[in-house]
Amino acid sequence: MGKIYQVYGQDAHVMTKKLLEASDAIKLVPQDGSIALKPNLVVAGTPDSGATTHAGVLSGAIEYFRDNGVTDISVIEGSWVGDDTMRAMHRAGYDMVCSKYDVPFFDLKKDRTRNIETAIGPVPVCCRALDAGLLVNLPVLKGHCQTVMTCALKNLKGCLPDGEKRRFHSLGLTRPIAALGAALKPRLTIVDSLCGDLDFEEGGKPVQTNRMYLGMDAVQLDAYGCSLMGLPLKRVPYVELAEKYGGGKASFSERDVVSLNEPSDAAPYPKPSGIVANLTKRVKQDRACSACFAALVRALYVSDTERSREICIGQGWRGKSFNGLGIGNCCIGAKEYVPGCPPAASAIVEALDS
């Protein structure tokens, strides 16, 4: 089973470099091979809205690969049907990164395509994605209005021409996403989970999570993403289907996850607003780490159990005894608590629904 490297913090540039260094990702680049960085620029939205990959992920990856001798680096992406990739690229701040490092950006909507064989038959894919020595998949972990969750596998849809994106929707997304992921099988994925949206790929309801993670199996990373969002795999069926199609392993164990630092190294959760404030209005928070609080937010969002129990979370509860449900190892003194530092949202959902 592949390793998942994860790091907590707020600086995407620094976090990306730490992940790449810890995983020794340079060994994945073929001799004299090129790198194509494939972020998520689904719409012209800023990364802090929870829709798009932070520009610091690009700059961190460019610096890491340059420092390790790779000279042929580009950024590739095609926004969704109806949006302009270059407008999205400017909005997300990629123009500044590309100009600072003198790295070209290619709009895949203008690229040539070649058919590849997949479990649903031939699929046309943009040549710049197919011909890269190493395709580096840079998705955002976030909610999606149709597939519930979107991350490593679904981000690859941006490598298709617009006509094929439309056809994927007409086929219901699940089978095509699984088939494309299994056929492309990206060997390196870095997930931006700094503030992905709660339930919509266009952003607008970001949840501050302050986490990033890296792995070499996109299917495994999506299984991990589901657990971080409190979603059982059956809610996101393309993940297990991608395993059936040969794309990777739709499972992980705690032993697979290598944490490079502690969640408390990231800033505490900022004052919640909007839907997050509404979801957590009865929660007693005292200095909760962002990753911990975000796991609770996502769990409260997917659990439909009526709640009367008191819920407490944060480092301020250390060493205290109290009734109700405690979230995380800091709340070991609670009558009932969910272990973990931070616990996965799926474990919190189980406790809420028990």
Binding residues for ligand SF4, rule: CB under 6 A, are 263-264, 288-289, 291-292, 314-315, 328-330, 341-342
Q: Which two tokens stand for residue 338?
A: 């969910």
Task: Quote the tokens at residue 318.
Answer: 């250390």
Distance, in Å, from the CA atom of 86 to the CA atom of 91, rounded to the nearest integer, reads 9
Nearer to ligand SF4 by Cβ, of 85 and 264: the residue is: 264
- Residue 6 C-beta: closest distance to ligand SF4, Å: 13
Its sign, for the CA torsion 43, 119, 213, 278, is positive
CB 258 within 8 A of CB 189: no
Nearer to ligand SF4, 40 or 264 (CB): 264
Q: How far is the CB of 342 from ligand SF4 (least distance, A)?
A: 4
Which single residue brings its beta carbon nearest to ligand SF4? 328
Q: How far is the CB of 297 from ligand SF4 (least distance, A)?
A: 13
Select 174 or 259, whichever has its Cβ closest to ligand SF4.
259
CB of 91 to ligand SF4, least distance (A): 32
Q: How far apart are CA 210 and CA 17, in angstroms?
A: 15
- Report in angstroms how near the CB of residue 174 gets to ligand SF4 at its nearest: 33
Q: Name every residue whose Cβ is closer than 8 Å to that of residue 82 and which is 6 or more positions away in sequence.
A: none
Measured from the CB atom, is 94 or 337 closer to ligand SF4? Answer: 337
Strands ordered across the beta sheet of 322-327: 283-285, 311-313, 322-327, 334-338
For the chain, the distance separating the N- and C-terminal CA atoms, rounded to the nearest angstrom, is 31
Which tokens is 98 given?
A: 């590309």
Beta carbon nearer to ligand SF4, 7 or 250:
7
Three-state SS string over 23-48 comes to HCHHHHCCCCCCEEEEECCCCCCCHH
* Residue among 198 and 294 whose Cβ is closer to ligand SF4: 294
Least separation in angstroms between residue 10's CB and ligand SF4 is 15
